[in-house]
Structure formats: C-alpha cells, structure tokens
A and B are shown apart, each in its own frame.
Chain A
Amino acid sequence: MSTTTVAHHDEHHDDHPTGIMRWLTTTNHKDIGTMYLTFSLVMFLVGGSMILGIRAELFKPGLQLMNPEFFNQLIGVHALIMIFAALMPAATGFANWMLPLQIGAPDMALPRLNNWGFWILPPSAILLTLPFTLALFGVGDGALATGWTFYPPLSVQGGIGVDFAIFAVHLLGISSVLGSINIIVTIYNMRAPGMTLMKMPMFAWGWLITAFLLIATIPVLAGAVTMLLTDRHFGTHFFDAAGGGDPIMFQHLFWFFGHPEVYILLLPVWGFIPQILQTFSRKPMYGYKAQVYSLWAIGALAVVVWAHHFFTAGMPVPALLYFMYSTMAISLPLAVLFYCWIRTMWKGSMSFETPMLFTVGWIILFGIGGLTGLVLADVAADAQYHNSYFVVAHFHYTLFAGGIMGIMAGVYYWLPKMTGHMYNEKLGKTHFWLTAISFNVTFIPQFFVGLAGMPRRIPDYALQFAEFNMISTVGAFVLGLSQLLFVYIIISCVKGGKKATDKVWEGAQGLEWTLPSPPPYHSFTEQPVVK
C-alpha cells in the first residue's frame, strides 16, 4: 500500500461493489449507519401497524377484530419491535453516521464487526415475527403472548412463540453489545488530536454511557431468558417454586436490564438534543460539564433502581423504601439537564425549523413523562398506578415523545448533511404538528382511564372506559398515518431537493459541519485538530 501514489490510493478506496453486494459487504460507517436507520424506520412502521390493530380492537367494548390470544401476541411483539428493532437501531444508526464525523475520525474503529452487528438484526426481526406466519400454516400457536417482559410462569406455559422470542432477544443483544464495543473503542481511540474527553460533543458522551450500560446489562437479560429456555425445555426450576425456584427472581433479573434499557434508549437522544438546541439558539450549550456529570449520574443510578417496576410483587419494607428513594433521586440530575436545555434556549436567537420544533416539543412532552415518573416512584400510590393505563401513558411519554420524537428531531437535523439535500420544510413542520397533537390525543386519555381503574393488556374493557378509549384510538390512527408523511419527506429528500450547504444551519457548531454535504465516502482524510 505504501508504494501506491496518493491519488491512486483514494480511487482505490472509493471503489466498492455495487448493488446488493455493496450493502452486504460494506464496512463503511455511513453505509452501515444508513442501513441501521432504514431498518429502524421499516420496523417502526411494522411495530406501529401492530399497535393500530390493538387500538382498533379497543375502539369500543366487546371483541370485534381478534381473539384475546392474538391480542396478547400483538402487544408483546409491538413492544419488543419498538424497543429493540426501532429505537435502538435508530440510535446506533446515528452513532455510526455521526460519531466519526463529530470526533474527526475517518471511520468507526472496528468496521467488520460493525457490518456483522447490523446484519444480525434482520434475521432476529424475522425470528420475532415468524411465529405469526407459522401460525397461519398451522404450526404453533403464534408469537410470544406474555407481553415483552417474558414473566414466568406464563412464559414457561407459552408456545413456540416464546422460544422464537428468546432467540431473537439473544441475537438483538449480541448486535447491541457489538455496536457498543465498537462505539467505546472508537470514542477512546479515534478522537481528533486536541479533543480531550471533556471537549467531546455531547452526543459522544451520551453514547459512551449508553454503550457501557448495554455491556453491563444485556448479558443479564441474555442469562435470564436462557434460564427461561432451560426451564421450558430442560427440566430446570429457576422460576418454579415447586423445584425451589422463584418466579419473582426473573423479574429482578429482567428489570436489572430493563430499567437501564430506558436510559439506553434515551441517553443518545439527551446527547444530540443540546446540540440541536445550541444550533437553533445560536449560542453554545449551557452547562456542558454539569450535563456530562448528570449523564454519568443517571447512568450510575440506572442500574440500582430496577425493583420499582414491580413494587406490588411483594418486598420487605426496607427494600421498598430503598427503591423508592433511589428512584426519586434520578429526578435530581434530570432536573439539572432540563435546566441546562432551557437555559441554552434562554436569551438565544432562536429560529424554529423542524428539528427545533421537534426538540422544543420533545422537552415539553418528555417533561410530562418525567414528572409522571416521579409520582410512580411513590410505593403506596404505585399500588394504584401499577399495570394500569396510567403507566402505559407514562412510558409512552418517555419512549415515544422522549425517544422517537427525539430521534425525529435528529433525523431532520442531520438529513441535509447525510443526503446533501434540504427536506421540504413545510411538510416537516406539518409532520411535527400532526405528530405532537395526535400523540397527546392518543395518550392523555390513557392517563385518565388508568386512574379510573383500567388495567393494561386487556383485550376488552368495562363500559365506563369506553369514551376515553375511543378518543385514544382516533388519536392513534392520526398519529400512525402522519408517519407516512415522515417516510415521504425522507424519501423525497434522499431523491433530490435544494442543495444543502456544508454548514446547513446558520448556527451549527461542531466538526461534522466542516465537511461537505453529503460528506465524502471517507470522512476525514486528514485529521482535523481541535484547539
């Protein structure tokens, strides 16, 4: 290699297979990032249409469209798809695309592992949904019907759908761990000269902590579902009291992963949200250090609060108190973050392009999710909220508003950089308003119906819940259909549109905006220096 001329060298590198082989064999961070994001978008639509089936069934009391077995399968697979196949790949896709650009690296540190990490995903998505198809041909009785949480003994009792889901989770977990290793190695080794850790873009910080959380918790989930698998088929009794086991132990193991998972989904978003805020406020983000410390604090607290997901399962009083107070403590660093975000806006020179609209909407709606989470931490009140629609509404404010709407802000923010074209601003704003309004129409009624006493995961309900459910279903369908507009905006932006400048946004700050739009196949051929 050292003997080739520089010009030849470049040509050689840009030479890659075309067609399907390009995507199968690619080790380029942008190609892989694009595949992650596309996969995430497709699965978002798949998971979304599942829940529209659920909402249609819940439009009015009585069984209209499906039997309870199928209903139970849809809710669990909806959640697994949205969490593992839509939200997590979206964040990994952004990491692939943007981390090397933001830290001044030519590519990710481990490109082949990167390729493998992505190509594990489609098979696992197929594993997860295949039992639906198999059931149509009379094989098995459908997909996982236990909700996404796999609680035994119900999951021990379940059909082949549980086994398929266990293997799907194994694969999805491997993919996440591989992605995390790659991100940690990249961040530690590939930063531009002069970029110390405390000068890193916030997105890199968010992902670094996410990656550590993933590596710490995914193996526990993998272990838990493997124990489930051996309980199902090989006569072990980990979760069977008759053999000395304990069904509640599974809940401890599951939520030891499950609670950090919430922050795994949110930390990358908390990383790029301040970047969007500083861009559109035209001033640097406020309290960089305070934000970094808060992210670390949340990352640390994330792994010590898991049992608040099952306060009603029965625990000694000291344990209840410990998990209540430690959960409440998460609100302290989060309050700091909210303060810094709003303080970044304060006395800036704000303009409200689509990414900023999504970001401001995100702060408000995620705020509702956070505040309702605070009250859920109260053990006594939790007896009422637990497993009611109040909880469903709460976690959709954190995961749809706080997760997916954040991802959407990121998509609009970086799409011109990725494609080299501006998206249609008018349609983008329409998409924001449709999403924000219909989201609230969908989920505000669920708070009230939960307080009134409607449990989650029931296919049919008592008459006093009817009106709120009807409104919620109408909202859900508008919300679902609005996302087709999102798909249209993205596709037309990829195909063409006004040329984007290198900087794209007037107030953009950071290394990724020094490269052309779209950036060259290999990002930085010469390392930038950060002062």
Chain B
Amino acid sequence: MQGMKKLGVGAVALFLSLSARADFTWNFPEPVTPMALDTLHVHNKFMLITAVIFVAVLAIMIYSIVTHRHSKGYKPVADKAPSTAVEIFWTLIPFAILLLIDFVIMGIPAYHSVVMMEDTRDQSTMVIKITGSQWRWQYEYLDGDAKGIKFVSNLATSNDQMHNEADKGEHYLLEVDNPLVLPVGEKVRILMTASDVLHNWWVPQFGSSRVAVPGFIRETWVQVEKAGVYRGQCKELCGKGHGYMPVVVNAVSKEEFAQWANKKQDEQKAANDVKEMTKDELLAQGKVVYEKNCAVCHQVTGAGLPPAFPALTGSKIATGPIFGADGKYQKDSHLDRVLNGKGVMPAWKATLNDTEIAAVITYERNALGNTAAVDALVQPAQVKAARE
C-alpha cells in the first residue's frame, strides 16, 4: 500500500511538472487560409454538438445508474411487452434527431465546404506543381513571375539530433533547406503528383491535404492570408523516411515574392550553366549532394542497408566503366542508374541538374572507399550529352 501511495504521488508530481512547462494545444493551429478557417468552424461546431449529445446522454445514464439500482431495492418496471408501434415511435426520436443534425445542421454547411475545397478553377493567379518522392518534396512554378523555378526541398535537421547526440532545435524535424515561397493573398492552384509511392502534402494551418499519386495529377489550392512560416509534413506512409519529409512554406508579400523569384531565377540559370570542373570541385559539391539525397538509403559511409539498399563501397556499378567505345553511356552503368533509376532506386534526371549529377557520381567513384579505375571523373557536359 505504502508503495502504491508513493507511486501515486510520483505520478501526480510528474503530471504537474509536465503541465507547468508544457505547451499543450487543444485544437487546430491558427488557420491562415479560407479553407482552414472554414474547417476550424466546422470542427468547433461539430465538437459542440457532439459534446452536448454526449453530456446529455451520459447524464441520463448516470441518473439511471444512481437511481435504478438493485442494491437500493428498485423494482424493475414490468415492460408489458410494449406494442411494436409504441417502440417504433420511441426509437424514431433518436433517429429523427440525428437526421436533423446530419443532413441539416451539419450536412448543409458541409456541402458548401466541399464545393469550396474542390474549386480550383476560379481566380487562381498562379500554378505550382508539387512532386513527392522518397523522401523529399520538389516544387516547380509553372507560370507568373516565378515561371521555371524548380527546386528540391529536403529535411534540414541533422542526424545527430535524431539520434539524441545533439540538442534538438526549435523546429526539430520540421525544417528544410529550401522552403516553398508563396505570395500572400493569391489563390495558388496546386498540381500534385509523385514519382515513386503515395505521399500527402499537408500543412495543418492551410486546412488542405491531398494525396500525391504517382502517374496521376491531383489538384488542390491554397490562399495564404497572412505572412509567415508554416510547417507541416507528409501524412501518407511512404517508407522508412516518412517521418522525415517536412513541408515548410514561407508566405511573403507580393513584392518580396517578386524579388525572391528574380533572384532564384538568376541563381538557377547560373547553376544550370555547364562548365568544366576540377576533381576537387566535383568532389566537394558531390559530397553535399550525396549526403542530402543519397545517404538516407546508401548511408553516409556508402555501406548501404542490404538487401533493400545495396552498398556503394566496392559496388560493381560504382567502380565499373560508364562510357562505351562510342563515348555514349552504357546500359546499367553508374550514370544510367543515377539518371533513370531502377526498382527502388529513383530516377534523378528530373531532380538534379547536370552539375549535381556529375558531382555526385564523381564523389561516389572516388570517395566512400572507392577508387574507380575507369571513368573516374564525370563532367557536367557528359551528363548533359547523356540526357540528349
């Protein structure tokens, strides 16, 4: 008994200390789009109605439990087999109440919400394409100021934070290297697709979420009303990195958006320029690209996670020849695998530019314990040629 008491006191103390420093939230986060605002209203109304039903029914039950007790000598009423008509009448009352709640009180507003949520046609001023892939998001601006901008957004949280070897940052697991930038107040139409398995692009404060299906385009829209940084994550199980593909959206004013778009377009143009690079340059950039994109599966050391994810260290593909006698890349060579993928290995040709692919291949062939005897260096120009 003494032990039980101690345990109880301990538990209470634990809860008090928790609630003292915890930031408990009890509802949806602050909505910043018309959709999320609508959702919050629907949710609150529903919760109120169901809470009223629950409390009323519970009260009746508790009254009955307290009053109609055998131990108090309460005699059961002799239900003289009530006629079916009476029974049916009584049982139709809860039926009717729910009918009213479902199809009128909640059903009518729900209709309007659905129509609004699915309306991607009207007044959208911008179209972006979002592609989910294991385990990162790719964003592409299809029109307007930012037309042609295309980038990949990766988790920015470091590995040692996940393994409790470093203190966790404020936005642990909800931070990326390249956030999606959207102008405030514009209705943005979103085309959603995926390159490998199902994903779901979700920002709780936007109130919209849509599954990204490989081979299909799905649509949704957002209209962010307030500048700020909004965070969410993938919410369709997509493999081992499912918990590690956050969504970060930076909503800025229209002017800032235009500036950002200009700057980004210039950067992208510079990055896409194909120029001859030294081995050291390639290795330096390759390391960055590798650790961001490849290390999830093939590991930082190149050891992989066999049998699902093969090792690169000592791999035939990563050390064997790439180019044939005619100067063209061979099937199932290192370059072919990175460009086009195979099975679980994704195709990178749409995600990485020529320089990045050249760099990462060079890195894999000269680091990770490998020293390729042939085709040790791959130049951006060769990748560019291979694409054509």
Contacts and interface: CB of A to CB of B under 8 A. Distances in A.
Interface in B208-234: 208-211, 213-216, 218-219, 231-234
Interface stretch (A10-18, A19-27, A57-65, A213-221): A57-65
Given A324-B114, A460-B162, A378 B90 contact: no
Given A147-B237, A325-B107, 7 more contacts: A157-B239, A287-B87, A289-B88, A312-B211, A332-B99, A342-B61, A463-B168
A284 interface: yes
Contacts of A141: 307-308
Contact of B87 (A286, A346, A386, A453): A286
Contacts of A67: 240
B388 interface: no
Interface in A123-150: 140-141, 145-147
A72 interface: yes
A345 B114 contact: no
B174 to A, nearest CB: 5
B366 to A, nearest CB: 29
The secondary-structure label for the interface of chain A is: helix
B273 interface: no
11 contacts: A281-B76, A290-B87, A314-B216, A314-B218, A317-B115, A328-B106, A384-B28, A386-B209, A464-B23, A471-B15, A471-B18
Interface stretch (A300-308, A364-372, A494-502): A364-372
* A-side interface size class: 35 or more
B237 A463 contact: no
A313 interface: yes
B206 to A, nearest CB: 9
Contacts of B24: 448, 467-468
Contacts of B92: 336
Contact of B235 (A348, A371, A386): A386
A378 B106 contact: yes
A481 B123 CA distance: 57
Interface of B: 11, 15, 18-19, 22-29, 35-36, 38-39, 42-43, 46-47, 50, 53-54, 57-58, 60-61, 64-65, 68-71, 74-79, 81, 84, 87-88, 90-95, 97-99, 102-103, 106-107, 110-111, 113-118, 161-164, 168, 170-174, 196-198, 200, 202, 204, 207-211, 213-216, 218-219, 231-244, 305, 307-308, 343-344
Given A62-B163, A451-B28, A375 B43 contact: yes
Given A241-B215, A325-B107, A339-B91, A378 B113 contact: yes
Interface string A307-340: 0001011100100110011001101110110111
A154 B162 contact: no
Nearest to A343: B90
A69 B38 CA distance: 37
Given A349-B75, A351-B71, A387 B18 contact: no
A152 B213 CA distance: 10
Contacts, number: 295
B204 A374 contact: no
B142 to A, nearest CB: 19
A528 interface: no
Given A312-B209, A317-B118, A463-B172, A335 B204 contact: no
A357 B349 CA distance: 63
A290 B92 CA distance: 9
A62 B168 contact: yes
A348 to B, nearest CB: 5
Contact of B65 (A314, A349, A360, A371): A360
A342 B91 contact: no
Given A338-B94, A339-B93, A452-B25, A349 B240 contact: no
A122 interface: no
Contact of B42 (A63, A157, A380): A380
